[in-house]
Amino acid sequence: MKFIWWTNRAAFTLMELLIAISIIVILLGLLLPAVQKVRAMASQTACQNKMKQLALAITHYHDANLRLPPGHRSAKSRQGIPFTGWTISILPFAEQEEIFHQSHQDSLANNNPLEFTKHSVFPKVVSLFVCPNDYRITAPQISLKTNHLAAFTSYLGNAGLNYLSKDGTLFQDSQLNLLSITDGTSNTLLLGERPPSGDFQFGWWYAGAGQAGTGTGDLILGVQEQNIMPAVWQGPNCNPGFYSYQESQLDSPCNLYHYWSLHTGGANFAFSDGAVRFLSYAIQPMMPALASRSGNDLISLE
C-alpha cells in the first residue's frame, strides 16, 4: 500500500482571508436591508388584508341593518351596550360569533363594560383587529392608569374632522346609510390605523369612553382631533391641538390624538367602498376632505 503525502497543501493567506471576510460583510450589508424591506412589505400587506376584512364586515352589517354600525355608543345610547361601538357590532359578520355571544351574555348580567371584571371578553385578543407590525398587542396588556387587563385594536373609525364635527362615517351614536356619503364612498374614509397609546389606556377594542366620554382615541378618531382630556390624563406637553396625520413613535405621549402607523412613510386606510390604500404622510393636507362624507370637496387619489 502506498501513501501519498501532500507537501504543498493550498491554504488561505491572511490577506486572502481578510478579503473574503470583507466581501461576506459587504454582501450581508446589501442583503439585510432587502430582507427587512420584504418583511416590512409582507407585514404591511397582512395589515391591509385585515383592514379589508373589517371593511367587508362593516359592509355586511350595513346590508343587514340598512345602516353602518355606530362608531361609538355614548353613555346615553339606546343602541346597545354603552361605550362599545363598531368593533362589537361587526363581530357576527367577521366570523367572531362566539365572542359576540359572550359579550351579549356579559352585558345581560352587567350593562357597563367599563366594569372590567364583569366582562370576560375585555382581555380577549381578536387577531383581526391587530396589525402584525405592533408586537405589543398580540397579547393583552395592563392599562397603566386603570390597572386592568385589556386587548386592543390597531384600527379606528373615521369620526370626521374631530369629535365635534360628526361629519365622518363612524362617529359617536352614528347611524348612517351609505347613501348619505354624497362625496362618494371611494373618496371617503371608513377606518384608519393608529396604534394604541404607550400607557395602554387608549385603543381598547371591546369598549372605551375615549376622551371625556366622546369615544375619540378608543374606537374612533378625527383627522384633526383635539386634546380635551383632563390634565391628569394628558401626556406631558400635549397641547390642545389640532393634531394631524403625521409620523410618530410608540413612546410619544401625544400620538393617541392622530392617525399614524408603525409602517414606514404612512398608514393604511379603508375607504367606504371597501378599498384599502396606503396613504403617505405627505397627503396630510387632503385628510379633512377624505374624512368628510358630504363636504363637496372631492379629490382623486389616482
DSSP 21: H
Reduce the DSSP state of residue 266 to 3 states and report it: strand
**Contact criterion met (CB below 8 Å) for 166 and 172:** yes
**pLDDT attached to residue 296:** 75
- State how far the Cα of 205 lies from the Cα of 196, in Å rounded to an integer: 10
What would the pLDDT profile of 3-48 be if each residue is shown by its tens digit?
445 455 556 677 767 777 777 777 777 766 655 555 666 777 899 9
Query: Where are the chain's structural domains?
Result: 18-291
Identify the segments of the chain with pLDDT beneath 70: 1-12, 16, 31-41, 230-236, 297-302
> Pairing mode, if any, of strands 225-226 and 241-243?
antiparallel
**pLDDT attached to residue 138:** 95
**pLDDT attached to residue 236:** 61
Reduce the DSSP state of residue 72 to 3 states and report it: strand
**pLDDT attached to residue 147:** 87
Reduce the DSSP state of residue 104 to 3 states and report it: helix
**The pTM is what?**
0.85
